[in-house]
């Protein structure tokens, strides 16, 4: 078996039993990256020498019986958005080319302290402004399952490298679906933590839509990384003191009540996506849960009307600050960045938007008084072209069923695969919990993973 095909959980067990060396594991993913990158283009830079040193140090700790970190010896790639002091931080933008970070993101510090072998950075769209991943700086990132299609965005590079086997774990971030969209299109697992569960850096640590989170190839892998990166941090006043430990352990869903919503009130869902979502519902029933078909009064138009005032107050001004009023600088931005900023500028009054967000949350909260979780598709469509311009914000966001759960950002959302569409691109579902109830969505995800037997099957690999 190729070592890069191991899940992080499987690899961890083999490392600790000394059946596997961190050095061997790292060399396997380095070789796999070399083989896959010419096709998928999902890596911005590699740190091979430093990673080899880290793997040797990890092997020494294992041999000596020293205390081990939770991620000891596991190869991991970081989304390029998360800064590391002394390293490039370019945000996929020509205007940032050569920029070096002066601070390190708290989750990076925690990942390094947990013994992970960080060996590369993954691509994003410019300033994470699109649900696809291409930029003037880094080119087009492609989906390992079908290179004509996008892996999604903005954590598209992370989704692609996991699907391709170029690493075992990866980080993402999510402000409108940026973890869950790539998880769906790439056939991997991703978690959007509730706001403040994972610490962040200013200004987005105070943005209730935004969360950094884990991505992996199994529910247990994502739980492993989530437990490392979550928890309070002295640099983030919003970060929650409560520790919510999650698990990929499988248990019966007897007594669990799940609401199934197929269109969130009006999304035009592709028949293949709906069929695969219904297959997940059947698996939930087989695992012991009660599943009821429900409706929510949302739909894409209301979602966008509710979200744009927020983006107009946060992301829009951020992009304007980059341009500095200079038309020449604006011309260097990607067309989708300019289109996003223009839509955000017309978003409407921020205070009225906050009122709308509260009204948006109410029907979900009322529904969840009778259910433990909601299950719905992640994306209404089966894919976007790898070079999709993404300049028509309404059209593109009208296919993304992720944004509602950024509007009500205190809910945890676990994204898992649901099947494969006729074009060869995976589909996915979102498991949405009550506010701050992280353990339940992982319990449900683990049961679905076992019952469906899809993405943990040795055959669940792209033909790349």
Q: 367: helix, coil or strand? A: helix
- Cα–Cα distance measured from residue 44 to residue 42, given in angstroms and rounded to the nearest whole number: 7
Instruction: Report pLDDT for 345.
Output: 87
- Compute φ and ψ for 119, nearest 5 degrees: -125, -5
Per DSSP (E only), the strands in 236-342 are 257-260, 290-293
Q: Which residue has the tokens 């500028």?
A: 345
Phi-psi region of 400 (alpha: psi -120 to 50; beta: other; left: phi over 0): beta
**Cβ contact 163:186 at 8 Å:** yes
3-state DSSP: the chain helix, strand, coil percent, rounded to 5? 40, 15, 45
Which residues contact residue 417 at a Cβ distance below 8 angstroms, ignoring those fewer than 6 apart? Answer: 183, 184, 187, 188, 189, 426, 427, 428, 454, 455, 460
- Cα–Cα distance measured from residue 170 to residue 157, given in angstroms and rounded to the nearest whole number: 9
Instruction: Report pLDDT for 118.
Output: 98
**Cβ contact 215:155 at 8 Å:** yes
Q: Please work out, in degrees rounded to the nearest 5, the angle formed at the alpha carbon of residue 112 by the alpha carbons of 202 and 413.
A: 60
- Cα–Cα distance measured from residue 410 to residue 321, given in angstroms and rounded to the nearest whole number: 28
Instruction: Report pLDDT for 319.
Output: 86
- Cα–Cα distance measured from residue 205 to residue 396, given in angstroms and rounded to the nearest whole number: 26
Phi-psi region of 177 (alpha: psi -120 to 50; beta: other; left: phi over 0): left
464 residues of the chain, pLDDT tens digit each: 799 999 999 999 999 999 999 999 999 999 999 999 999 999 999 999 999 999 999 999 999 999 999 999 999 999 999 999 999 999 999 999 999 999 999 999 999 999 999 999 999 999 999 999 999 999 999 999 999 999 999 999 999 999 999 999 999 999 999 999 999 999 999 999 999 999 999 988 999 999 999 999 999 999 999 999 999 999 999 999 999 999 999 999 999 999 999 999 999 999 999 999 999 999 999 999 999 999 999 999 999 999 999 999 988 788 888 888 888 999 999 999 999 988 988 889 999 999 999 999 999 999 999 999 999 999 999 999 999 999 998 899 999 999 999 999 999 999 999 999 999 999 999 999 999 999 999 999 999 999 999 999 999 999 98
- Cα–Cα distance measured from residue 278 to residue 271, given in angstroms and rounded to the nearest whole number: 10
Q: Which helix (H) or strand (E) holds 432?
A: strand 426-433
List the domains of the chain with CATH numbers.
3-301+350-452 (3.90.1300.10)
């Amino acid at each position: 078996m190729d070592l890069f095909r191991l899940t992080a959980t499987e690899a961890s067990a083999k490392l600790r039993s000394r059946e596997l060396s961190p050095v061997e594991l790292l060399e396997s993913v380095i070789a796999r990256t070399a083989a896959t990158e010419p096709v998928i283009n999902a890596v911005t830079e590699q740190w091979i020498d430093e990673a080899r040193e880290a793997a040797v140090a990890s092997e020494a700790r294992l041999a000596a019986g020293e205390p081990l970190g939770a991620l000891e010896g596991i190869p991991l790639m970081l989304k390029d958005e998360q800064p590391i002091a002394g390293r490039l931080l370019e945000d996929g933008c020509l205007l940032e080319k050569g920029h070096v970070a002066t601070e390190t993101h708290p989750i990076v510090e925690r990942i390094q302290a947990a013994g992970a072998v960080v060996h590369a950075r993954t691509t994003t769209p410019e300033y994470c402004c699109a649900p696809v991943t291409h930029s003037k700086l880094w080119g087009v990132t492609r989906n390992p399952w079908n290179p004509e299609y996008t892996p999604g965005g903005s954590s598209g590079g992370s989704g692609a490298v996991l699907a391709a086997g170029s690493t075992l774990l990866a980080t993402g971030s999510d402000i409108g679906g940026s973890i869950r969209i790539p998880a769906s299109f790439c056939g991997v697992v991703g978690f959007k933590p509730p706001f403040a569960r994972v610490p962040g850096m200013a200004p987005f640590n105070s943005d209730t839509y935004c969360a950094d989170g884990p991505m992996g190839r199994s529910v247990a892998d994502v739980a492993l990384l989530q437990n490392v990166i979550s928890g309070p941090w002295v640099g983030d006043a919003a970060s929650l003191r409560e520790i919510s430990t999650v698990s990929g352990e499988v248990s019966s869903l007897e007594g669990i009540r799940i609401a199934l919503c197929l269109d969130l009130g009006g999304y035009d869902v592709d028949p293949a996506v709906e069929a695969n979502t219904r297959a997940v519902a059947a698996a939930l029933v087989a695992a012991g849960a009660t599943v009821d078909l429900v409706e929510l009064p949302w739909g894409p138009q209301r979602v966008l009307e509710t979200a744009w005032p927020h983006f107009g107050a946060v992301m829009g001004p951020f992009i304007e600050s980059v341009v500095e009023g200079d038309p020449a600088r604006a011309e260097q931005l990607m067309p989708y960045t300019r289109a996003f900023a223009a839509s955000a500028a017309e978003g409407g009054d921020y205070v009225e938007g906050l009122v709308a967000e509260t009204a948006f949350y109410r029907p979900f909260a009322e529904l969840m008084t009778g259910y433990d979780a909601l299950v719905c598709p992640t994306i209404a469509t089966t894919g976007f072209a790898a070079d999709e311009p993404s300049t028509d914000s309404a059209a593109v966001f009208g296919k993304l069923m992720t944004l509602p759960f950024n509007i009500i950002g205190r809910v945890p959302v676990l994204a898992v695969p649901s099947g494969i569409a006729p074009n060869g691109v995976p589909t996915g579902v979102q498991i949405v919990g009550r506010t701050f109830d992280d353990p339940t969505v992982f319990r449900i995800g683990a049961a679905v993973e076992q019952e469906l037997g899809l993405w943990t099957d040795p055959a669940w690999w792209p033909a790349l």
